[in-house]
């Protein structure tokens, strides 16, 4: 199964360090993902948080789990307690962050699923790392309907050259929160996109990040189908297989449904300026 854990609590400066993997304990494990994992909590707090946390990262709007999660988040005392003990998000209307998303996917990942992630990395190199694939899936699963398609794809393109998962998560969390706040002021709900569309967006993001403009070979198709089926279990395997096959055929024919400009790694000053702009927008949205 997939093991997602930290060997030690993160120091305040650890978020600035590039992520890395520890050695494989076996060919069938998905690796110990040590990047951006929240500090370990006590056993009591973990058990209590498990009582409140809804496991699925995406729920149908009218499902019982979604309803219960919103009720818990709305209760003044219980909702506060749940947020304190489940600091990864996902309580009430909170966004599920990337660390919690990985954990929830990992809990349902079989040995065969883990092998697919590992083999994909061997085929695609650094751009095919499991964290990259999962971040693309997280953007589509959580952000579709809040983020524009071009924003998701530009993030995948940036990640390919910057290797900065921390920056991408913070950027997209801020963008998603801003989109939700705008919709709240307008009293409009985000569009309820079918999971099949989210799978398509995840596939497009993975292609931009891991393939760029390379062809999708038959073995890649099998691995992509397995990985996407792991992350989106509610979508029929045959439908995911069809989407992947269609993507491979379009790439082979030179047909691209979107425009992603060639992305060059920005300077440190440009990145800092982007973060300042993002913080400024965030502060204005709160006033």
pLDDT of residue 266: 55
Query: Does residue 173 lie in a domain region?
Result: yes
Is it the case that residue 124 has pLDDT exceeding 80?
yes
List the structure tokens of 129. 């790392």
Domain span including residue 55: 43-252
Query: Does residue 283 lie in a domain region?
Result: no
pLDDT band for position 257 (cuts 50, 70, 90): confident
What average pLDDT score do residues 196-200 get? 95
What average pLDDT score do residues 99-103 get? 90
pLDDT of residue 269: 63
Query: Does residue 238 lie in a domain region?
Result: yes
Q: What's the rounded Cα separation, in Å, for the pair 52 and 83?
A: 9
* Model confidence pLDDT, tens digit, residues 127-144: 999 999 999 999 999 998
Query: Does residue 277 lie in a domain region?
Result: no
Q: Looking at 125-267, list the stretches that DSSP marks H as alpha helix, in order from N- to C-terminal side.
A: 130-143, 149-162, 165-186, 195-206, 218-231, 237-252
Is it the case that residue 59 has pLDDT exceeding 70?
no
Q: What's the rounded Cα separation, in Å, for the pair 101 and 58?
A: 10
Q: How many CA atoms lie within 13 A of 105 on its CB side?
A: 28
pLDDT of residue 240: 97
Q: What's the rounded Cα separation, in Å, for the pair 232 and 274?
A: 32
pLDDT of residue 71: 43
Query: Does residue 21 lie in a domain region?
Result: no
Query: Does residue 31 lie in a domain region?
Result: no
Q: How many distinct structural domains can be found in the chain?
A: 1
Is it the case that residue 277 has pLDDT exceeding 60?
yes
Task: Answer left, alpha or beta for residue 45, where phi above 0 means left and psi between -120 and 50 means alpha.
Answer: alpha
What average pLDDT score do residues 235-257 get? 93
pLDDT band for position 207 (cuts 50, 70, 90): very high
* Model confidence pLDDT, tens digit, residues 155-192: 999 998 888 899 899 999 999 999 989 988 988 888 88
Helical axes 149-162 vs 195-206, angle rounded to 10°? 30
What average pLDDT score do residues 3-17 get? 36
Closest of 242, 247, 236 to residue 195, by C-alpha: 236
DSSP assignment letter at 265: P
pLDDT of residue 283: 72
Tokens 């440009």 correspond to 270
């Amino acid at each position: 199964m997939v093991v997602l854990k930290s060997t030690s609590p993160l120091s305040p400066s650890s978020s600035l360090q590039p992520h890395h993997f520890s050695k494989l304990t076996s060919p069938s494990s998905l690796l110990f993902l040590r990047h951006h994992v929240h500090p370990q909590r006590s056993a009591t707090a973990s058990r209590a948080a498990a009582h409140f946390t809804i496991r699925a990262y995406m729920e149908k709007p009218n499902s019982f789990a979604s309803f219960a999660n919103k009720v818990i988040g709305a209760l003044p005392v219980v909702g506060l307690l749940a947020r304190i003990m489940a600091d990864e998000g996902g309580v009430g209307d909170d966004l599920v962050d990337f660390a919690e998303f990985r954990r929830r996917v990992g809990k349902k990942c079989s040995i065969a699923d883990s092998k697919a992630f590992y083999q994909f990395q061997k085929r695609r190199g650094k751009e095919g790392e499991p964290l990259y694939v999962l971040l693309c899936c997280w953007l589509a699963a959580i952000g579709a309907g809040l983020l524009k398609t071009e924003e998701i794809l530009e993030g995948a393109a940036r990640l390919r050259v910057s290797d900065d998962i921390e920056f991408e998560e913070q950027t997209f969390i801020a963008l998603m929160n801003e989109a939700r706040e705008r919709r709240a002021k307008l009293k409009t709900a985000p569009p309820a996109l079918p999971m099949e569309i989210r799978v398509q967006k995840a596939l497009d993001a993975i292609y931009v990040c891991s393939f760029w403009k390379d062809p999708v070979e038959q073995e890649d198709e099998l691995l992509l189908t397995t990985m996407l089926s792991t992350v989106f279990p509610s979508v029929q395997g045959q439908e995911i297989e069809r989407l992947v096959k269609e993507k491979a055929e379009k790439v082979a024919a030179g047909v691209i449904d979107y425009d992603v400009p060639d992305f060059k790694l920005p300077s440190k000053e440009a990145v800092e300026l982007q973060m300042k702009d993002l913080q400024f927008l965030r502060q204005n949205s709160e006033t």
